[in-house]
Structures are given as C-alpha cells and as structure tokens.
Amino acid sequence: MPIKQAEVDKFMSEVLQCYHCKKCATLRQDKIHTYCQGCDQFFCCFIAGRCRCCSGAYCLDCISKTTYIINKKLEMNIICDSCDS
C-alpha cells in the first residue's frame, strides 16, 4: 500500500527539540542529527560520536557509560554495550 504524500508531509512537519540546547526543528529541516542510545533523546549538538560497529550514537553525557578508546589521532572509537557483548 503506497504512502500518501499528505502523510509524508505531516510526518516531516513534526517538530523535535534538541535535549541539550533546546532548539526546535522539523524533520524536513534536517537539523536534529542524532538520537542518543543512552538517554533516548534527540540532539543537534553535544554529540560524542557513533559506535564503530552499529553506528548507534551517544551524547557527551552518556559516553561515559560506554566503552571507548581514543587513538593517537585523537579520534574516539566507541563500542556500545550491545556490540561489546
């Protein structure tokens, strides 16, 4: 069953708020970049990085709850709990 354009437009008009800076943006604006797997919040900033295995993202507050390694180039390699098991 095809999705109607009106339904797509309504979905893309949904407004999300960044948990850290409190700025609001619609999905169509593409400014909310990350959903944190640790705290289940949306972010446009305050992002620590993504898991190297599953691409799950973490905010700077939740990164301390994950396993991560900083290499010689000062790049953070994150391994989330579900991939670490």
User: CA nearest 43: which of 62, 16, 13, 68?
Assistant: 16
Q: Who's near 45: CB < 8 A, 6+ residues apart?
A: 18, 20, 21
CA distance 19 to 39: 10
CATH number of the domain residue 78 falls in: 3.30.40
Task: For residues 49-74, give the mean pLDDT.
Answer: 77
Residue 19's pLDDT is: 95
3-state class (DSSP) for residue 4: coil
- How many separate domains does the chain show? 1
Range of the domain at 11: 5-84
- pLDDT tens, position by position, 10-43: 989 999 999 999 999 998 998 988 899 889 999 9
Global pTM value = 0.73
